[in-house]
Amino acid sequence: MSERAPDPRALDLMAFCRQGGALTARWPQALMPRLAESLADPPGDAIAECTAQGSLRPVTGGEAEIWLHLQGRAEVELQCQRCLQSLSEPLQVDRRFRFVRDEDEAVRLDEESEDDVLVLPPRLDLLALFEDELILNLPLVPRHAACPAPLLAPGETPEEAAPHPFAGLAALRRGQSQGGGRDK
């Protein structure tokens, strides 16, 4: 009888780590409603991919530490805060989590170390954890390195856009720097 693959939406994390488990998952971004709230448009058929690797790290004189290494990526469509156009943003996740038995231990260890320490749940929803990490990796102010089009007023067409207020000065300066300076 073959062993069944672990359910990433209800992962028995202790068993997964004890076995040194590994899994890969591909989820439609439409399954991530909290992430979708930050997107410019509904995610459509966009996919997010992740891998998870569980392990137990032996501790001298104590119980082994429970660790999960989560890696993943997704391409999301955000709204540029400069030009208000759509912006494609790649997100990367590469985090290691240590799981402990209770909240008190998590709080104590979280203060003492730089590791991400979480309470061991009866079943871990890997999709929810991955969605949390994608949200944490969203840029605070999404914007293009160079916007593809100038910002237009509502209802304004590119032909109607007002010229830059200093365009005349820039032309005048260019003329002076090319030998068109003042007479002395």
- Record the pTM: 0.77
Where does the pLDDT of residue 36 fall: very low under 50, low under 70, confident under 90, or very high at 90 and above?
A: very high
pLDDT value at residue 105? 87
Digit-coded pLDDT (tens) for 97-122: 999 998 988 888 888 888 899 999 99
pLDDT at 152 > cutoff 70: no
The one-character DSSP state at 60 is: T
The 10 Å Cβ neighbour count of residue 68 is 23
The band of 181, judged by pLDDT with boundaries at 50, 70 and 90, is low
Quick check: 2 and 118 in contact, CB under 8 A?
no
Average pLDDT across the chain, whole number:
86
Query: What is the predicted pLDDT for the residue at 130?
Result: 97
Tell whether the torsion through CA atoms of 16, 67, 128 and 25 is positive or negative.
negative
- Per-residue pLDDT for 133 more than 70? yes
Residue 175 pLDDT > 90: no
Distance CA 77, CA 74 (A): 10
SS3 of residue 159 by DSSP: helix
Whether residue 41 is predicted with pLDDT greater than 70 in this model: the reply is yes
Cα 148 from Cα 144, distance rounded (Å): 8
**Rounded to a whole number, what is the distance in angstroms from the first to the last CA of the chain?**
98
Distance of CA 139 to the CA centre of its chain: 8
Least confident of 113-127, 137-151, 157-171: 157-171
Structure tokens at 138: 């969203």
Torsion of CA 97, 17, 6, 110, to 10 degrees: -20
Share of the chain above pLDDT 70, in %: 81
